Structure 1
Amino acid sequence: MDYDVLIIGAGIVGAAIARQLCRYQLRVALLDKEADVSFGTSKANSGIVHAGFHEKPGSLKAKVCVRGNLLYGQWAEELEFPFRRCGILTIATDEEQAHQIEAMYRHGVQNNVPYMQILSGERVMEMEPNLTPDVREAVYAPTGGIVEPYEMIFAIVENACQNGVSLLTNTKVDAIEPLPEGLRVMSGSRELTARFVVNAAGLYADEISRLAGAEEFTIIPRKGEEYLLDKRAGSLVKTVIFPIPTKKSKGILVIPTVDGTLMLGPTATEVEDKEDRATTTEGLQYILEHVRPMVPGIQLKDIITSFVGLRPTIAGDDFYIARSQKVPALIQAAGIQSPGLTSAPAIAEMVKDILLQAGLALVESPTYNPRRVGAKKIRYLKTDEIDRLIQDNPAYARVVCRCERISEAEIIQAVRAGHTTLDGVKFATRAGMGRCQGGFCTFRVMEIICRETGMSYDEITKRGGESWVVSGHLG
């Protein structure tokens, strides 16, 4: 066998499983059809680390959400990705909603969510003075938090690879065949064999299961539009603001980000196309109609960009994490929608336990290192700290992205780490995420990619595949 465990899907769940397994003496591969990790559903995640009171008591979601939330502090400290426990407020603005607040609080107590409180409207307004004065009361969960999902995934995968995991991008699974003691996975002319395969393929988990001859289920994409505001609006709220949830979703939210902006969304519309990432005028209007009654100061002019995430929903509305009954070498990790980002560290523990019960020997690696040193980012540093960096590396003195204060040194580090698409560099560094959305820095980033890799301009893509930026040469 080429590998002991082959993980299909390098989103947050696949990445977390890879990191969980890299501490053992195993041959592990993490495979994805995209040009970089986190390029599927995970990149468009809202970045909320949920507390766990939204989840149905007794559900698998509730169990792994609360456990995953608990693990976040340790993972962020070890891997040096930005994480802030800013807290979550779910607000009620009338008597009927206030009754639901009490029910949500009881859910949280049943799910063992710590430190929850029901706050009066007056107390809520003291915490968040820019909310509507119509707030009657709220559930407050201080353990809720925020991360940048792609930055977190990059950190997780980097640490996993440092500990021996093989990363295989641009590797689409075409077929899966049974072997006497494992599975053969085929991608084009390439064949990979593994004793166990983990199906963490997100939107395509149903198709992977079908290729393997395993359980039949259907992933239904649920489209969520999100809108990002300029940093000047970032001080409107400090906590994540939730409305009372609906049966379909947790509602339209106002979400602070770790880099000081605000996000609005997401919508929740079931679609057929698993690649439908188009935002709509109707979606924007719907979001504004729902967030302005909560935070009246939100203005249309502050929106700088929009994007879509597709949740991989499954019948039963709970996660599907189990060893396949039909194909024992396949471990299913499917239907991972919200709160999947929060739950990922706990899902990884669960998959590890399933593999152990299936007979995989887990021997601790003596060389395992849980720590990863993050890149130095000048936007977080004091002037004297930046001066010291510049003395060692003058590339820190050259600011490429002025909106977000990203230095040439940071972009070089990202490219040398393997992020050679514009989106890969953007997610690793934030170059191109500011007010001008790459209008001034895109060519400079391309210039650095060419210089560092030897690629030509017409080989550079936005996000892999045929998403070329330059279509040809003139003259």
Structure 2
Amino acid sequence: MYDAVIIGAGVTGAAAAWALSRLCANICVLERTEDVCTGTSKANSAIIHGGFDPAVGSLMAKLNVRGNEMMDSLCEDLDVPFQRNGALVVCTDEAKMGELEALLARGIANGVSGFRIVRGEELFRMEPNLSENVTAALRAPTSGIVCPFELTLALAENACQNGVDFHFHAEVTDIRRDEKGLYHVKAGGTEYVTRAVINAAGVYADEIHNMVSTQKIRIRPRRGEYCLYDRALQGYVRHTIFQLPTEKGKGVLVTPTVHGNILAGPTSDFISDKEDTATTAEGIAEVLEKENLSVKPLPGGRIITSFAGLRAHGETGDFIIGEAEGAPLFYDLAGIESPGLSSAPAIGEMTAAWAEKALGLQKKDHVIEKRTGIPHFAELPIEEKQKLIAKNPLYGQIVCRCEMVTEGEIVDAIRRPLGARSLDGVKRRTRAGMGRCQSGFCLPRVCEILHRETGIPQDMITKCGGNSRVVVGYTKGEKEPRDREDGRHPHEEM
């Protein structure tokens, strides 16, 4: 029996697991897909917000500011790349200067210092590639950028180091509470018995909540489309460039990433399908048009990929966090949209404080605080590269030429706690396949390594779990790809 079952292994669920792993408790995480961070958390703007946008007094404001404060030490402890590059909210119409000043006042009211409005030569010295239409900007120096997947993975790996169980391919289909007050959670064909449930199911959080609560909620998926530019444009902007917020959100931004790319987006469209992450010609055209309101035109020939992500929009205007009506010890972490990534560590902290009190848990005497990530070979000084190759010759074998990812990194990604079991799992951990050719060169070699390290037959290796198999037929012989009703191979359950 578990003290708490967490549903969802996105950044919110992983942060809750990380915080709860500091307590003397038996905890598990149920994730319906094949890896951590496969939903909302993997496809967003990767921004750690400064705290100027959320309404004063809201949970969003409180948790954004606290999460931002936690980020430096957290990322240092968990070996996650994080940069405080600062943000600029640009104004292109003098008639809207009042809105910029209102954002400044809101940020100060939310308890964040350092905000100021910048104009003229000083502004264009900061960002020479701003659009000529920009007249002023609010500068938020505490804003930053992070890799959402690396942060989520690091939180989950550290939780695993500290005793949290993770179960993948475990989609929750039913929850009931027995006469003793214990919850029975049915997921992936297994029943998990637990004292408490923590609902961090992203766009599906309403469906999980509505299984047990007398007061129903609704989560609407809102799709955002992005364009990612080649690292050849590194330095085009240094700050994260926002437009003035509207009722649809913070608008199309242009930002550097921690890996040196330039990212533009997102759009903001409510959709009905919670799995619809398709990009559209209209959406990409909107990104390309609106990015030019903030910066000088980016060269379209430098776009290496486009993608879409979904935001879990609640109807309260704030995060939905707390014990569900009519369901004691069922704790919602729902409606976690922007600034959800920024707020995640604080949401985890808040969840652990609730669990400690509600479940009568004690803090552990010993906790593993540090986690070491996969070494990114391409970023190391030559002396460290030589030492790494001498220690493990696989680091001398380049697999992904675009990103200079080595076989050693890929093997580490597969063998470490919560290791990769798909091509996307390898890609997100190592960047193999994220370069200009988008896996055109390295995909066959990564498949070979996955097969060798996991025993998964090559015709059962997937892009991202389920039925997304890469090998769909053979050009020679009579051998056909094996099939399973759920598209999985038993080795995926490792």
Following the alignment from structure 2 to structure 1, what is the Cα–Cα distance between the partners of residues 165 and 39? 19
The equivalent of 1:385 in structure 2 is 384
Paired with 2:297 and 2:3, the residues of 1 have a C-alpha distance of 54
The aligned counterpart of 1:446 is 447
Kindly indicate whether the alpha-carbon contact (under 8 Å) linking 1:278 and 1:307 is maintained by their aligned counterparts in 2. Answer: yes
Match of 1:335 in 2: 335
The aligned counterpart of 1:428 is: 429
For residue 300 of structure 1, what is the aligned residue in structure 2?
A: 300
**Contact 1:118/1:138, CA 8 A, preserved across alignment:** yes
In the other structure, the counterpart of 1:461 is: 462
For structure 1, which segment, 30-39 or 113-122, has the greater mean C-alpha deviation from structure 2 after superposition? 113-122
Q: Does 1:151 align with 2:171?
A: no
TM-superposed CA distance for 1:347, in Å, is 0.8
Distance 1:239 1:197 in 2: 40
Displacement of 1:188 in angstroms is 4.2
Measure how far apart 1:189 and its partner are. Answer: 3.0
Amino acid at match of 1:6: V
Say if 2:209 and 2:324, in contact at 8 Å, map to a contact too.
no
Question: Is residue 2:66 matched to residue 1:72?
Answer: no
Runs of at least 5 residues in structure 1 that lack an aligned partner in the other structure: none
In structure 2, the partner of 1:252 is 252
Equivalent residue number for residue 482 of structure 2: none
Deviation per residue, 1:25-63 (Å, 9 max, x gap): 110101100100000111102110000101111111011
SS at match of 2:172: coil
Q: 1:214 to 1:356 in 2, by over 3 A?
A: farther
Matched, 1:166 2:172: no
Correspondences of 1:28-177 after superposition (within 5 Å): 28-177=27-176
Q: Deviations over 1:194-241 (max 9, x none)?
A: 100000000000110122245311110000001100111122101100
Distance in 2 between residues matched to 1:133 and 1:213, nearest whole Å = 53
Contact in 1 for aligned 2:175/2:186 (Cα 8 Å) = yes
- Measure the CA separation in 2 of the matches of 1:12 and 1:149: 8
> Matched residue of 1:248: which SS?
coil
Contact 1:11 1:41 in 2 (8 A): yes
User: Within the alignment, does 1:8 sit opposite 2:1 as a pair?
Assistant: no
Displacement over 6 Å in runs of 4+: none
What secondary structure, in the 3-state scheme, does the structure 1 residue paired with 2:345 have?
helix
Amino acid at match of 1:8: I
CA-to-aligned-CA distance 1:283-331 (integer Å, 9 cap, x gap): 1111111111321131211111011111010112210001112101200
Quote the Cα distance in structure 1 between the aligned partners of 2:257 and 2:189: 42
Which secondary structure state, in structure 2, belongs to the residue aligned with residue 174 of structure 1?
A: strand
Residues 116 and 138 in structure 2, CA contact (< 8 A), matched pair in contact too: yes
Rounded Cα–Cα distance in structure 2 between residues aligned with 1:164 and 1:68: 24
**Displacement of 1:178 after TM fit?**
0.3
The residue number in structure 2 matching 1:288 is 288
**8 A contact 1:175–1:212 mirrored in 2:** no
Deviation at 1:19, TM superposition (A): 0.3
In structure 2, distance between residues paired with 1:62 and 1:246:
17
| 1:121/1:138 contact within 8 Å kept | no
Match of 2:277 in 1: 277
Q: Give, in whole Å, the separation in 2 of the partners of 1:97 and 1:384.
A: 53
Q: Equivalents in 2 of 1:296, 1:321: separation in Å?
A: 41
Q: Distance in 2 between matches of 1:246 and 1:405?
A: 40
Matched, 1:313 2:323: no
Give 2:181's aligned amino acid.
E
CA contact (8 A) 1:182 1:329 kept: no
- Under a length normalisation based on structure 2, what TM-score does the superposition of the two structures give? 0.94
Question: Is the Cα–Cα contact under 8 Å of residues 374 and 430 in structure 2 kept in the other structure?
Answer: no
Distance 1:121 1:204 in 2: 46
Looking at structure 2, the residues matched to 438 and 60 of structure 1 have their Cα atoms a distance apart, in angstroms, of 41
1:210 counterpart letter in structure 2: N
TM-superposition CA deviations, 1:241-286 (whole Å, max 9, x none): 0011111110000011000001110000000000111101111111
Structure-2 separation of matches of 1:374 and 1:381: 14
- Cα deviations by residue, 1:94-138 (Å, 9 ceiling, x for unpaired): 212222111100000100112111111321101001111332111
Q: 2:57 and 2:138 mapped to 1: Cα distance?
A: 20
Q: Deviations over 1:359-414 (max 9, x none)?
A: x1231222311110122111211111101111111111111111111111000000
Could you tell me how far 1:465 is from its partner in structure 2? 0.6
Partners of 2:356 and 2:362 within 8 A in 1:
no
CA distance in 2, matches of 1:30, 1:214: 24
Between the aligned partners of 1:114 and 1:394, the Cα distance in structure 2 is 49
**3-state SS of 2:232 partner:** helix
CA deviation after TM superposition for structure 1 residue 182, in Å: 2.2
CA distance in 1, matches of 2:463, 2:214: 35
Aligned counterpart, 1:261: 261
Q: Does 1:187 align with 2:208?
A: no
1:201-220 matches, cutoff 5 A: 201-220=201-220
